[in-house]
A and B are shown apart, each in its own frame.
Chain A
Amino acid sequence: MTPQEWGLYEYIFNGVAALLTLCIFSFLYKDNPFYKFAERLVAGVATGYFTMLLFWTNFMDKVYDPLKAGQWWYIFPAVLGVMMWTRFSKKWAWVSRYSIAFYIGIGSGVSITVYLYTYLFKQLQATIGFPITMDIAGLNQFLVIIAVLSALVYFFFSTPHKGALGFVSKIGIYVIMICFGAGFGLTVMGRVALLVNRVIFLKGYLIQLFGG
Chain B
Amino acid sequence: MNLLMDAPVIDYGIMQPILVVLGAAVLGVLIEAFAPRENRRNIQLVVTFGSLLIALYGVVTNTSEKHVGLGAVNSLSIDGPGLFLQGVILVSALVGAMFLAERDIDVQGDAFAPQASALPGSEDESEFTLRGWLQTEIWPLFLFSVGGMLIFPVANDFLTLFVALEVMSLPLYLLAGMARRRRLLSQEAALKYFVLGAFSSAFLLYGSALLYGFAGSVTYGDIVTAIGQDPGRNGLLIVGSLFVFVGLLFKVGAAPFHQWTPDVYQGAPTALTAFMGAATKVAAFGALLRVAYVALGGLRWDLAPVLWVIAGLTMLIGTVVGVAQSDIKRMLAYSSIAHAGFLILGVIAANPAGLSGSLFYLLAYAFTTLGTFGIVSLVHDASGEANNLGQFAGLGKRSPLVAGAFALFLLALAGIPLTSGFTGKFAVFAAAYEGGAAPLVVLAVIASAIAAFFYVRVIVLMFFTEPQGEEVSVIVPSMFTQVGLSIAATATVILGVMPQPVLDLLNNTFFIR
Genuine A/B complex: no
Which B positions have Cβ atoms within 8 angstroms of A?
none
